Amino acid sequence: MSTIADNLSTLAERIRSAALAAGRAPEHVRLLAVSKTKPADAVREAYAAGVRDVGENYLQEALAKQLELSDLPLTWHFIGPIQSNKTRAIAEHFDWVHSVDRLKIAQRLSEQRPADLPPLNVCLQVNVSGEASKSGCNPEALPALAQAIAALPRLTLRGLMAIPEPTDDPAAQAAAFARVRELQAGLNLGLDTLSMGMSHDLEAAIAQGATWVRIGTALFGARDYGQV
């Protein structure tokens, strides 16, 4: 069985090759280690191998791991669906939120971000797969929503996040990620972040400008049966 350190070096090489093939600097693509369903010890092992950014989908699970790992200087990213009653804890305990998809959630995060912390980095999740996915704002709503969120005082709007419908077709992967890149460019807000690409499609995402790839399986191994 390969270790997390082995997996990380394989991933670093995949990221590097994909960036160079796209004429991009490899250091402009960062790896977000997605540790949902994985124990704190796995994150500790990833940290020892060089991981510094960790993504979690479920608040309670994330808070428990943060407590166990409070001795490590990790940057925590929230990447899961957000219910209104969870915004305060998210605003208090995370450095980034990739999954903002409506104004009400953004307003609450801004209001609830503690004054002694820097503004919360947020990405606006956009649904580029239509009916196939329920998460994310629809592309038509994006410009107005992005403008409103960019104006909130305690958030820094960094860019867009997307989870396109999974497919093995490289052309379909490229088209979905290109759409996200074009939507971002069309906003004209000077955003610097594209959070897109997972274990199976990171190469296609990097070719279209991904700056965060969110990697679970290829780093930590398959998630337990029955878990997301």
136 binds ligand PLP (CB under 6 A): no
By CB under 6 A, is residue 158 in contact with ligand PLP?
no
Site string for ligand PLP, 8-47 (x = CB under 6 A): --------------------------x-x-----------
Binding mask 160-199 for ligand PLP (x = CB under 6 A): ---x----------------------------------xx
Residue 217 as a binder of ligand PLP (CB under 6 A): the answer is yes
Q: Cβ(184)–Cβ(162) under 8 Å? A: no
* Ramachandran area for residue 63 (φ above 0: left; ψ -120 to 50: alpha; else beta): alpha
For 39, other C-beta atoms within 10 Å of its C-beta total 13
How far apart CA 215 and CA 35 sit, in angstroms, is: 9
3-state secondary structure string across 28-73: HCEEEEECCCCCHHHHHHHHHHCCCEEEECCHHHHHHHHHHCCCCC
Q: What count of other Cβ atoms lies within 10 Å of the Cβ of residue 132?
A: 11
55 vs 209, beta carbon nearer ligand PLP: 55
Question: Residue 207 Cβ, how far from ligand PLP at the closest point, in Å?
Answer: 17
34 vs 97 by CB, closer to ligand PLP: 34
When the beta carbons of 147 and 217 are compared against ligand PLP, the nearer one is 217
Tokens of 219: 């780093």
Residue of closest CB approach to ligand PLP: 216
Binding site for ligand PLP (CB under 6 A): 34, 36, 57, 79, 163, 198-200, 214-218
